[in-house]
């Protein structure tokens, strides 16, 4: 329990920082929903009582320090290789709960091979996939998930689909594989959607606990700094620009 929590006799505690979230300051920019996703995962690990048997595989990108932010055993994979590393961990430790936390550059670009094959094998791991349509850590370059026309630091005129192709729909793609047990897309742009996202994360971990196979939750996430917006504007941008391209829904349940 958080030592800062002090409940008066006539009060109940409605919400406190989850135990699985490390008591430290994150490097994320103000308003970045990476923090929200971390918190949701930590809440789910607390609620399912999984903290002491969970192993996190962090990836390369803004979430590279995720191993510092969770109170669980953790490692940091080479760029894109988190699903392979998670496979190695889970195969020798089937009783541990193993999850990766990856961004869109890591998962949908350099790590496409690893994630597709982990899903195809029905690897009993959970993937938390943050889609913010950009490479955040390196300063906002075009990602495989960048929207058509979206301006980034490496598509300054806006993404030209004739030159650079189309965004990848990972939740649909992974959902189409027989080895995938659970593949959904949720968004973090308002309280209602955050609550839905948490439910999905919980289901994904329950799928792993039941040994049903590969589970992935794609979360539409904001990058106020690289999008050049305020945190509030960036949530509106998710709602108005990203959700039409990346429809929320269940692609395999």
Partner 1 sequence: MAKGRVVIDVERCKGCELCRPACPQDVLFLADDLNSKGYRPVILLDPNHDCTGCALCATVCPDGCITVYREIPAKKAVREPALA
Partner 2 sequence: MSKKLMKGNVAIAEASVRAGCEAYFGYPITPQTELLEYMSERMPELGRVFLQAESEVAAINMVYGAAATGVRVMTSSSSPGISLMQEGFSYIAGSDVPAVIVDVMRGGPGLGNIQPSQGDYNQITKTAGHGDFHPIVLAPASVQEAIDLTVLAFDLAEKYRTLVFVVVDGAIGQMMEPAELPPMRELPSGRPDWALTGAKGREKNVISSLFLGTTELELMNKELQAKLAYIQANNEIRYEEYMTNDADLLLVAFGTAARVAQTAVQHLRQEGLKVGLFRPITLWPFPSRRLTQLTYLADTFLVVEMNAGQMVHDVRAAVHERVPVHFYGRMGGVIPMPEEVEQKVRELMRVVPTEDDVQTHQFPVKPQAAHEFLRM
CB of residue 212 to partner 2, shortest distance in Å: 19
Site string for partner 1, 183-212 (x = CB under 8 A): -------xx--xx-----------------
The region that residue 151 occupies, defined by phi over 0 for left and psi between -120 and 50 for alpha, beta otherwise, is beta
The CA distance from 77 to 62, in Å, is 13
The two tokens of residue 200 are 């999905």
User: Which of 110, 134, 193, 113 lies closest to 201, judged by CA?
Assistant: 193
DSSP 239: I
The two tokens of residue 164 are 């650079």
Binding part of the chain for partner 1, among 103-111, 170-178, 225-233, 242-250 by CB under 8 A, reads: 225-233
From the list partner 2, partner 1, none, pick the one residue 235 interacts with, judged by a Cβ distance below 5 to 8 Å according to partner type. partner 1
DSSP 157: T
The contacts of residue 110 (CB under 8 Å, 6+ apart) are 79, 80
Q: Which of 28, 214, 237, 246 binds partner 1 (CB under 8 A)?
A: 28
CB of residue 239 to partner 1, shortest distance in Å: 12
CB of residue 34 to partner 1, shortest distance in Å: 7
From the list partner 1, partner 2, none, pick the one residue 89 interacts with, judged by a Cβ distance below 5 to 8 Å according to partner type. partner 2
Partners of 190 in the beta sheet?
Answer: none
Cβ distance 186 to 196 under 8 Å? yes
Q: Rule CB under 8 A: is residue 233 a binding residue for partner 1?
A: no
Pick 76 or 206: Cβ nearer partner 2: 76
User: Which of 121, 9, 102 lies closest to 58, judged by CA?
Assistant: 102
Q: Which of 96, 164, 196, 236 binds partner 2 (CB under 8 A)?
A: 96
From the list partner 1, partner 2, none, pick the one residue 28 interacts with, judged by a Cβ distance below 5 to 8 Å according to partner type. partner 1
| 3-class state of residue 231 by DSSP | helix
Q: Rule CB under 8 A: is residue 19 a binding residue for partner 1?
A: no
Q: Rule CB under 8 A: is residue 20 a binding residue for partner 1?
A: no
The two tokens of residue 161 are 């689909």
Please return the burial class of 76, using the count of CB atoms within 10 Å of its CB with bins 0-12, 13-18 and 19+: middle
CB of residue 58 to partner 2, shortest distance in Å: 8
Q: Rule CB under 8 A: is residue 23 a binding residue for partner 2?
A: no
The CA distance from 173 to 181, in Å, is 13
Please give the residues from 101 up to 160 whose contact with partner 2 meets the rule CB under 8 A.
Answer: 113-114, 117
Q: Residues 42, 147, 27, CA angle at the centre, nearest 5°?
A: 35
Which parts of this chain interact with partner 1 (CB under 8 A)?
2, 4-5, 7-18, 21, 25-26, 28-36, 38-39, 42, 190-191, 194-195, 224, 230-232, 235
Which parts of this chain interact with partner 2 (CB under 8 A)?
51-55, 57-58, 64-65, 67-68, 70-78, 81, 84-89, 91-93, 96, 113-114, 117
């Amino acid at each position: 329990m958080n030592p800062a929590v002090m409940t008066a006799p006539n009060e109940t505690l409605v919400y406190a920082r989850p135990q699985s979230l490390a008591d430290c300051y994150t490097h994320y920019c103000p308003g970045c929903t990476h923090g929200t996703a971390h918190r949701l995962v930590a809440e789910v690990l607390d609620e399912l009582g999984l903290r002491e048997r969970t192993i996190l595989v962090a990836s390369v990108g803004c979430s590279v320090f995720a191993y510092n932010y969770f109170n669980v055993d953790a490692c940091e994979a080479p760029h894109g290789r988190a699903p392979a590393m998670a496979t190695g961990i889970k195969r020798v430790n089937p009783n541990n709960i193993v999850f990766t936390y990856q961004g869109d550059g890591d998962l949908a670009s350099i790590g496409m091979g690893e994630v597709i094959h982990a899903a195809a094998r029905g690897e009993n791991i959970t993937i938390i996939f943050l889609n913010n349509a950009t490479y955040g850590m390196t300063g906002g370059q075009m990602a495989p998930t960048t929207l058509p026309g979206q301006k980034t630091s490496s598509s300054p005129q806006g993404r030209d689909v004739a030159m650079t192709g189309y965004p990848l729909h990972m939740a649909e793609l992974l959902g189409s594989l027989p080895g995938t047990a659970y593949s959904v897309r949720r968004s973090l742009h308002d309280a209602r959607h955050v609550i839905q996202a948490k439910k999905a994360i919980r289901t994904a971990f329950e799928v792993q606990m039941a040994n049903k196979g590969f589970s992935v939750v794609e979360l539409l996430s904001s990058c106020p700094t690289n999008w050049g917006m305020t945190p509030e504007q960036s949530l509106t941008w998710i709602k108005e620009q990203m959700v039409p391209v990346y429809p929320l829904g269940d692609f395999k349940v």
